[in-house]
């Protein structure tokens, strides 16, 4: 047991030394959002997918250009060989010798008609790029919302911790007063014991608030993907408690739903993916049409055994003149039967398109549900803020009154403790009501697809 305690103390001292030696990094809400956007790996993957989609479009444009290829080869042969030129001159064509030759070829081909494959493939790639752009935007909105939510929770925990510490300080002050009154005999000893129990309860509350703050602070650091051993100070933004929140009556649910269905990046991404699948279906259907292509080629060769009229011919005369061949061709391909593969591809693309449309319909229903729930919650939190504000004012006056009555002996410690507990609870409820309403505003913006990260302020 002593060994365990020693190790724990050593670890605490080591961590404290490390922390003290580090520069404190102050992080505001806007800083947190920018850090999250920079570090989030899912966002980086979405950016990589978008780059790949852009490369795919460039590749599809290149498919409209001719396909050009060239080759150049050389050979050296030793042994008995058939020399056609000697045969034409009436000589023995079979000669035991060493020969050298060089040949070259340049060919170009282009699709004249291939069932509109190139056009449809290009359009599909453009829709895929659009889909990934919208996916990237939604990924950014997710990162912004999650970072702001974690930051908001840390700030709320800080506020609740300060309230708990203030309550503990008040209880300790009251304990000192009760002890003094018990010593002079103006209060019974049981009041001192009750107040000591209240102080212990308040100390436990402070410890619980500290633990909650530590946990949510770690979750925020994890969300930002920064060094967990770093020394950070998350700056509490200025929150105007008298700020005017939008009344729930200023929102029209039907308009909010329509705005979300039009503005949500994930919905637009799915719609673009469906358009891409439609072009993929056209590509599969185009496979049933004939295809027409054209090609042109030019080739030449040189051989040291080539002769004309019994005289050797130079490389230049052979390769660039006498042995040059040119060609042009048209190719028409008509699909007749391919073991039902083309029909299967068509049916497969049709099923994929239907499934994507069903998924889009389900996503739209999900959007309706999310916006409706966020709207209802916003209405509820608006009412909670109004009620908690009234409760805070009333409980504060009640606590002050009970404290004055207790000081003059007109009230009991139990009544004072109850008034204090009610006041502290009202403070906590009011603080949480403000943050809940702020959070609900951001949640509603998130469900509407309106988060940009440029003006996320409280």
Q: Are 104 and 323 in contact (CB under 8 A)?
A: no
Report, at the CATH architecture level, how domain 116-289+339-458 is classified: Up-down Bundle (1.20)
- Predicted confidence at residue 96, as pLDDT, reads 78
d(CA 300, CA 320): 7
Looking at 89-240, list the stretches that DSSP marks H as alpha helix, in order from N- to C-terminal side: 117-183, 189-224
d(CA 197, CA 174): 12
The DSSP bridge partners found for residue 70 are: 106
Tell me how far apart the terminal alpha carbons of the chain are, to the nearest angstrom.
48
Give the closest residue to 294 by CA, choosing from 327, 326, 325, 331: 331
User: Residues 6 or more apart from 275 whose CB is under 8 A from it?
Assistant: 127
- Sorted by where each begins, the domain ranges of the chain are 116-289+339-458
d(CA 276, CA 349): 11
d(CA 139, CA 48): 13
What is the full DSSP assignment across 298-311?
EEEEEETT-EETTE
Q: Can you state the angle between helices 413-448 and 189-224, rounded to 10 degrees? A: 10
Q: Are 346 and 285 in contact (CB under 8 A)?
A: yes
By DSSP bridging, strand 232-234 and strand 25-27 are parallel
Furthest C-alpha separation in the chain: 146
- Predicted confidence at residue 310, as pLDDT, reads 66
- Predicted confidence at residue 404, as pLDDT, reads 87
d(CA 449, CA 256): 11
The DSSP bridge partners found for residue 111 are: 293
Helix, strand, or coil (residue 329): strand
Q: Are 424 and 201 in contact (CB under 8 A)?
A: no
By DSSP bridging, strand 94-113 and strand 291-303 are antiparallel
User: Residues 6 or more apart from 184 whose CB is under 8 A from it?
Assistant: none
Neighbours of 376 (CB within 10 A): 12
Q: Are 58 and 122 in contact (CB under 8 A)?
A: no
Neighbours of 249 (CB within 10 A): 8
User: Residues 6 or more apart from 228 whose CB is under 8 A from it?
Assistant: 218, 221, 222
Phi, then psi, of 91 in degrees rounded to 5 = -100, 165
Query: What are all long-range contacts of 351-354, with beta carbons under 8 Å and residues at least 24 apart?
Result: 352/277, 352/280, 353/274, 353/277, 353/278, 353/280, 353/281
d(CA 201, CA 425): 14
User: How far are the Cα atoms of 93, 150, 173, 212, 389 from residue 428, in angstroms, in the given order?
Assistant: 108, 19, 21, 14, 11
Q: Kindly tell me the sign of the dihedral angle through the C-alpha atoms of 109, 110, 115, 121.
A: positive
* Plot region of 299 (φ>0 → left; ψ -120 to 50 → alpha; else → beta): beta
Give the closest residue to 174 by CA, choosing from 207, 196, 145, 205: 196
Looking at 309-412, list the stretches that DSSP marks H as alpha helix, in order from N- to C-terminal side: 315-317, 341-407
Give the closest residue to 254 by CA, choosing from 382, 375, 359: 375
- Predicted confidence at residue 247, as pLDDT, reads 63
- Predicted confidence at residue 454, as pLDDT, reads 59
Q: Are 301 and 101 in contact (CB under 8 A)?
A: yes
Give the closest residue to 199 by CA, choosing from 150, 226, 164, 156: 164
Residues 407-424 as b or e (16 or more Cβ within 10 Å = b): eeeebbbeebbebbbbbb
* pLDDT tens digit at each of 458 positions of the chain: 344 334 334 344 444 444 445 688 999 888 998 999 999 998 999 999 999 999 999 999 998 999 999 999 988 888 777 766 666 666 777 777 777 889 999 999 999 998 899 999 999 999 999 999 999 999 999 999 899 889 989 988 998 899 899 889 988 988 888 898 888 888 888 888 988 998 999 999 999 999 999 999 999 999 999 998 889 999 887 766 565 566 666 778 999 999 999 989 999 999 999 999 999 999 999 988 999 999 999 999 988 877 776 678 888 888 888 889 999 999 999 888 877 888 899 999 999 999 999 999 999 999 999 999 999 998 898 888 889 889 989 999 998 898 888 888 788 877 888 888 888 888 888 888 888 888 888 888 889 888 776 555 54
């Amino acid at each position: 047991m002593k060994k365990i305690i020693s190790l724990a103390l050593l670890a605490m001292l080591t961590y404290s030394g490390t922390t003290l030696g580090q520069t404190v990094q102050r992080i505001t809400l806007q800083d947190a959002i920018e850090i999250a956007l920079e570090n989030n790996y899912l966002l980086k993957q979405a950016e990589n997918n978008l780059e790949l989609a852009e490369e795919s479009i460039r590749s599809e444009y290149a498919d409209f250009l001719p396909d050009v290829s060239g080759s150049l080869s050389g050979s050296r042969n030793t042994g008995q060989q058939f020399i056609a030129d000697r045969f034409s001159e009436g000589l023995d064509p079979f000669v035991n010798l060493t020969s050298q030759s060089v040949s070259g070829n340049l060919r170009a081909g282009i699709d004249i008609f291939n069932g509109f494959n190139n056009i449809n493939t290009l359009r599909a790639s453009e829709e895929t790029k659009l889909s990934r752009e919208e996916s990237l935007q939604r990924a950014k909105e997710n990162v912004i919302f999650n970072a702001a939510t974690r930051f908001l929770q840390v700030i709320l925990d800080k506020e609740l911790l300060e309230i708990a510490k203030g309550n503990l300080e008040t209880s300790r002050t009251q304990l000192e007063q009760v002890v003094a009154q018990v010593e002079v005999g103006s209060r019974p000893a049981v009041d001192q014991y009750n107040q000591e129990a209240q102080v212990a309860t308040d100390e436990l509350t402070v410890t619980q608030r500290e633990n909650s703050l530590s946990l949510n602070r770690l979750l925020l650091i994890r969300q930002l993907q920064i060094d967990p051993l770093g020394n950070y100070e998350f700056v509490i933004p200025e929150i105007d408690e008298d700020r005017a929140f939008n009344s729930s009556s200023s929102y029209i649910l039907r308009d909010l739903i329509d705005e979300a269905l039009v503005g949500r990046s994930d919905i637009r991404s799915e719609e673009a993916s469906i358009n891409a699948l439609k072009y993929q279906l056209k590509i599969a259907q185009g496979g049933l049409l004939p295809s027409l292509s054209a090609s042109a080629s030019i080739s030449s060769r040189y051989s040291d055994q080539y002769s004309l009229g019994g005289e050797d011919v130079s490389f230049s005369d052979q390769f660039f003149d006498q042995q040059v061949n040119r060609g042009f061709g048209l190719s028409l391909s008509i699909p007749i039967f391919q073991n039902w593969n083309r029909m299967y591809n068509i049916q497969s693309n049709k099923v994929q398109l239907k499934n994507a449309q069903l998924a889009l319909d389900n996503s739209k229903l999900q959007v309706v549900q999310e916006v409706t729930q966020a709207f209802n919650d916003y209405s509820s939190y608006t009412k909670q803020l109004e009620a908690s504000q009234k409760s805070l004012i009333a409980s504060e006056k009640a606590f002050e009154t009970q404290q004055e009555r207790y000081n003059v002996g007109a009230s009991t410690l139990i009544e004072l403790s109850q008034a204090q507990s009610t006041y502290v609870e009202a403070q906590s409820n009011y603080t949480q009501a403000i943050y809940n309403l702020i959070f609900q505003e951001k949640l509603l913006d998130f469900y509407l697809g309106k988060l940009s990260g440029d003006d996320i302020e409280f």
